[in-house]
Amino acid sequence: MQYPEAIAKLIDSYMKLPGIGSKSATRLAFYTIDMDEEAVQQFADSLLRAKRDLHYCSICGNITDVDPCEICRDPNRNQEQILVVEQPKDIMALEKMHDYQGRYHVLHGVLSPMDGKGPEDLNIAALIKRLQKSDVNEVIVATNASPEGEATAMYLARLIKPAGIKVTRLAHGLAVGSDIEYADEMTLQRAVEGRREI
């Protein structure tokens, strides 16, 4: 038995979202159908408003509804540090700490030859322009600890260091509460390299 066309299209639409397979998409489609019309309208309006009103900051590449974004406009942020992340959602995670007070730069991905992503596909040129026009003395690379994230970090370090700007990398290591015996070799190596005096 086939679903009516409207349900089939709704399922297909949900399946275009990352991490949503056919079972989850079907469940979401039927949940949507069971919602009252006002809730569905609010959901649709939220999608359209987000698509229409949000864009990338012309300075850092963060997602925003005003340009430049709130962080770039804040005069109290440390002008001498830029923390480089892969995606805007990474900024949100770091801001929850309330500890870092510098500025950010979003790459919108990482170098990945397998996926056809080279330096020209990332927001790297804008970062280099920012560094040329500012008093930044440290770039903190906060890409993920994946092979692509590591390659991107090394590439950025090779680009930036000749300008006399310090390039650092977030420490990676053991999670709080984890057991050493269950950690993989790369995690243990990062934990040892990122050690600090107590």
Residues 44 and 83 in one domain: no
Total tally of structural domains belonging to the chain: 2
Mean pLDDT of 49-73: 97
Check pLDDT > 90 for residue 171: no
Residues 43 and 122 in one domain: no
Q: Characterize the bridge pairing of strands 63-64 and 103-106.
A: unpaired
What is the domain range of residue 48? 5-53
Mean pLDDT of 109-120: 94
Residue 61 counted as domain residue = no
Residues 183 and 145 in one domain: yes
Q: Which of 88-97, 101-110, 138-147, 189-198 has the lowest mean pLDDT?
A: 189-198
Mean pLDDT of 40-51: 96
Mean pLDDT of 106-131: 96
Residues 90 and 29 in one domain: no
DSSP-derived 3-state class of residue 169: strand
Output the domain CATH number for residue 24: 1.10.8.420
* Cα-based angle 44, 46, 48 (whole degrees, multiple of 5): 70
Interatomic CA distance for residues 26 and 47, integer angstroms: 19
The model carries a pTM of 0.83
Residue 88 counted as domain residue = yes
Residue 158 counted as domain residue = yes
